[in-house]
Amino acid sequence: MDLLRAVKEIVPILEYRSWVSGREVNAVILMFLLPMVIISVAGLALGGDFEQNIRIDVLVVDLDNGEISKEFVEFLEEIDILDVDMESNEFAARDRVRDQEYGRLIIIPRDFTKSTMMGEDSEISMVVDPTEDSQNTVLEKIVEGYANGISINVVVVKTVEALGIPVYSEEQIFEVVDVANQFAQPLPVQVKTESTSSNLGEFTSFTQYVPGFAVMFVLFTSIGAGSVSLLKEQEEGTFRRLVVAPISKAEIIGGKITSTFFKAFVQLSVLMIFGHFVFDLNLGSDMLALAVLIAAIALSSTGLGLLVAVIVTTKDQADSFSNVLTLTMSAIGGSWWPIFIEPQFMQDIARLTITAWAMDGFYDLLYFDLGLVGILKEVGVLVLMTIIFFGLAISRFSFD
């Protein structure tokens, strides 16, 4: 009953804020139209050279030279953002990475094909330059995605052995694995939240700019418009009038938070759908994961907007401060360009922003197609930010 009463009290506040916003039809239109225009211009203008400007160099040593290792190398070479070079000598390859000629090295072990087909464990090694953390993470996800796919071979062989099914030669094992792979392509049971990243999407300018600018404009909405609106109502005495009404302070704040969150969620959702239908942006195979990520971004940005409203004292200060904050987070956090092209110290600072974790989540869904499990870290950090922002803001919030 208390929850129902709280909802009934919050709804009029939402209706009031919708009516206030409805008087500014142009602002509502610009909330969607302006981002769409900028996304279109940036994506089309920079699309031609975008993939050429974003390259991840990787050196590969194939000590196996077997069928599966060659397929793995071909898989890497087909990925647009990877520049793959081969090196026959492992020690020379390690020296080239140590001398920073290359940022990353993949070593395929001896007997990799045989071990995989015989159901034995094996390990693909990576040697990386620690100063290029974001690029290393991208490559790790690519390699892990492929490894997950070929692990089917190992599981099949181990299952056959565990059941005591007689297999008398390597040729028979290869036949078992080949049959298993035929049945596994496509997967007979589709679990979207665990879709393999070995089937990578195409990384285009719109993979970067649709979520990038969408997140930036959501920050403008939640931090800028949200904080200014709160301070405006505070200056006009709206809060004082609500306090004397039969509504608790928690319900008043809840109404404000819910209204801003709803706007941010709808805005980000509409812009992602716009990118999908207009520019054929791949949204991944897990719509639930996408909705969860959007909700986490909307919540954290709403919390930051409330925090800004209690830090500054006037709506003019809120407007200026929120603009600077949003533009700074967007630039350093990866809205304007992929974060891994930034110097490492900037990447480290970016981890303190909503934008960086939001963009990581979008990459995981739109490019790597990792599903809900793949974005748990990003969502967890955004939720933690939400708790911190709301905790600090509510502790300092004043209705006067």
Predicted confidence (pLDDT) per residue in 109-128, tens digit = 888 887 777 667 778 888 88
**pLDDT value at 285 more than 90:** no
Query: What is the CA angle 319-323-328, rounded to 5?
Result: 155
- Residue 216 CA to residue 393 CA, distance in Å, equals 22
In tens, the pLDDT along 5-41 reads 444 444 444 444 444 444 455 666 677 888 888 888 8
- pLDDT exceeding 90 applies to what percent of the chain? 19
Q: Is the pLDDT of residue 383 over 80?
A: yes
More confident residue, 255 or 139: 139
pLDDT attached to residue 7: 41
State the pairing for strand pair 104-108/125-128: antiparallel
Give the integer Cα–Cα distance in Å for 291 and 294: 5
> Is the pLDDT higher at 250 or at 365?
365
pLDDT band at 2 (very low <50, low <70, confident <90, very high): very low
pLDDT reported for residue 25: 59
**What is the model's pLDDT at position 316?**
76
pLDDT at 53 over 90: no
Higher pLDDT, 253 or 222: 222
Q: Are 389 and 303 in contact (CB under 8 A)?
A: yes
Contact 317, 202 (CB under 8 A): no
